[in-house]
């Protein structure tokens, strides 16, 4: 038996009756045992078309003998039985049932019989309307990527001054996305004051010493994020970089001895800064990265490798001792306008 967390939502028709009926039907399905059901909460729509009606959102905890794609089929059957009506992404819907967690399983867009499934739900870590009902019924349940309890994830997005880092390889559009998110959320915008000297093949600016160049970049980027000067207003901070990216990029540039020195310095410097509560990783195709970063003369293979390693570090950095964000959202960045909408929605959902 697998323990699964299911998210439920509706903003059309008889919302409460539809959610109650969906839970009732789900509980009598073969291979499913209902363990707990949250109360319903009314929430404002996030993203999607304007002028939508408020949602009712909730969650339920089940035990199931079904495999993930079998469970997805059952949820779809319940939705169809209750005449699910949803015509556009993030648009109004009569009923929406999502697999949020399936034990400690991790699936990344796995396709079976034409249905793609990502577990854990890729945007749940910043969604208050998901986390609040989930914490009501399963506060200690662990998120397998963040390695935090659901209660910790809710506390993470409930900071007085939220720190959001837009993370990406050169060419991902991090600066543009960060600026748009800051404008939309009235947050303080922090832009990288120094370019990372990680282009090993192209050399360093003015033939400089690599140790000094990396130290200078780290110091300049850390200064606006220091704990001692951190604001306490409710608008938050959006930075177009993550200090952890420096360490990932330095691994491609510095010699083993120099990297050891830099790693120790990085640990000391970042200990005095506020770790991002949310990281939004922009993932772009090789073609997009090559086009946008052409002026920097960086081989596209290096950009793709850096992007992959950033994702790996964000997902497992806690094991490596890194100061990594609890909430990580991956956003496709080939369409910059859509990436901006996704990033704004991720941040607004935390409010």
DSSP-assigned letters across all residues of 85-148: -B-STTS-BS-EEEEEEETT--EEEEEETTEEEEES-TTGGG-HHHHHHHHHH-TTPEETTTTE
- End-to-end CA distance of the chain, in Å? 35
Catalytic pick from 93, 127, 199, 315? 93
- Residues 172 and 141 placed together within one structural domain of the fold: no
- Residues 281 and 309 placed together within one structural domain of the fold: yes
pLDDT band at 206; cut points 50, 70, 90? very low
pLDDT band at 294; cut points 50, 70, 90? confident
Flag the least confident range among 126-130, 254-258, 331-335.
254-258
pLDDT at residue 27 greater than cutoff 90: yes
- Residues 145 and 173 placed together within one structural domain of the fold: no
pLDDT for the residue numbered 201:
39
pLDDT for the residue numbered 317:
55
- Residues 213 and 139 placed together within one structural domain of the fold: no
Residue 98 structural domain:
2-153
pLDDT band at 179; cut points 50, 70, 90? very high
Please report where in the chains the tokens 């779809």 appear, as a residue.
76
pLDDT in tens, 303-322: 999 999 999 999 875 555 56
Among 153, 173, 195, which residue terminates a domain?
A: 153
Query: Closest Cα to residue 68, out of 125, 131, 24, 111?
Result: 111
Flag the least confident range among 86-100, 130-144, 198-212.
198-212
- Residues 30 and 92 placed together within one structural domain of the fold: yes
- Residues 9 and 140 placed together within one structural domain of the fold: yes
pLDDT at residue 248 greater than cutoff 80: yes
Question: What pairing do the DSSP bridges indicate for beta strands 148-149 and 278-283?
Answer: unpaired
Catalytic pick from 96, 240, 302, 322? 96
* 84 is an active site residue: yes
Q: What is the CATH number of the domain that holds 54?
A: 3.30.70.560
Q: Could you write out the three-class secondary structure of 169-199?
A: CCCCCHHHHHHHHHHHHCCEEECCCCCCCCC
Taking the complete model, does pTM exceed 0.85, yes or no?
A: yes
* 305 is an active site residue: no
Please tell me what DSSP assigns to residue 294: G
Q: Report the domain count for the chain.
A: 2
* 183 is an active site residue: no
Q: What's the rounded mean pLDDT across residues 145-169?
A: 96
pLDDT for the residue numbered 63:
98
- Residues 15 and 115 placed together within one structural domain of the fold: yes
Question: What pairing do the DSSP bridges indicate for beta strands 107-112 and 115-119?
Answer: antiparallel
- Residues 302 and 270 placed together within one structural domain of the fold: yes
Among 109, 132, 153, which residue terminates a domain?
A: 153
Catalytic pick from 20, 53, 98, 103? 98
């Amino acid at each position: 038996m697998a323990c699964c967390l299911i998210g439920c939502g509706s903003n059309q028709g008889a919302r409460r009756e539809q959610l109650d009926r969906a839970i009732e039907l789900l509980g009598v399905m073969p291979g499913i045992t209902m363990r707990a059901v949250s109360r319903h909460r009314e929430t404002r729509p996030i993203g999607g078309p304007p002028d939508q009606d408020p949602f009712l959102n909730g969650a339920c905890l089940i035990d199931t003998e079904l495999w993930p794609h079998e469970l997805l089929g059952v949820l779809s059957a319940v939705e169809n039985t209750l005449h699910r009506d949803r015509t556009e992404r993030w648009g109004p819907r009569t009923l929406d049932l999502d697999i949020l967690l399936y034990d400690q399983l991790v699936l990344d867009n796995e396709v079976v019989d034409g249905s793609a499934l990502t577990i854990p739900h890729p945007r749940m870590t910043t969604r208050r309307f998901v986390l609040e009902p989930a914490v009501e019924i399963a506060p200690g349940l662990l998120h397998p990527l963040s390695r935090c309890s659901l209660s910790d994830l809710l506390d993470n997005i409930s900071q007085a001054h939220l720190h959001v880092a837009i993370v990406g390889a050169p060419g991902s559009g991090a600066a543009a996305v960060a600026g748009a998110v800051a404008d939309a959320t009235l947050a303080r915008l922090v832009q990288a004051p120094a370019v990372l000297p990680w282009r090993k093949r192209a050399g360093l600016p003015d033939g400089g010493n690599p140790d000094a160049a990396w130290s200078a970049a780290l110091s300049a980027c850390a200064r606006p994020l220091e704990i001692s000067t951190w604001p306490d207003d409710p608008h938050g901070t959006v930075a177009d970089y993550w200090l952890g990216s420096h360490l990932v990029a330095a691994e491609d540039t510095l010699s083993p001895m120099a990297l050891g020195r830099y790693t120790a310095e990085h640990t000391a410097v970042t200990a005095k800064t506020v770790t991002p509560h949310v990281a939004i990783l922009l993932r772009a195709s090789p073609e997009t990265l090559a086009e946008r970063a052409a002026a920097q003369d960086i081989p596209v293979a290096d950009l793709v490798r850096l992007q992959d390693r950033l994702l790996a570090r964000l997902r497992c950095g806690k094991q490596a001792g890194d100061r990594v964000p609890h909430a990580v959202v991956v956003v496709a960045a080939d369409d910059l306008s859509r990436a901006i909408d996704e990033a704004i929605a991720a941040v607004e959902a935390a409010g």
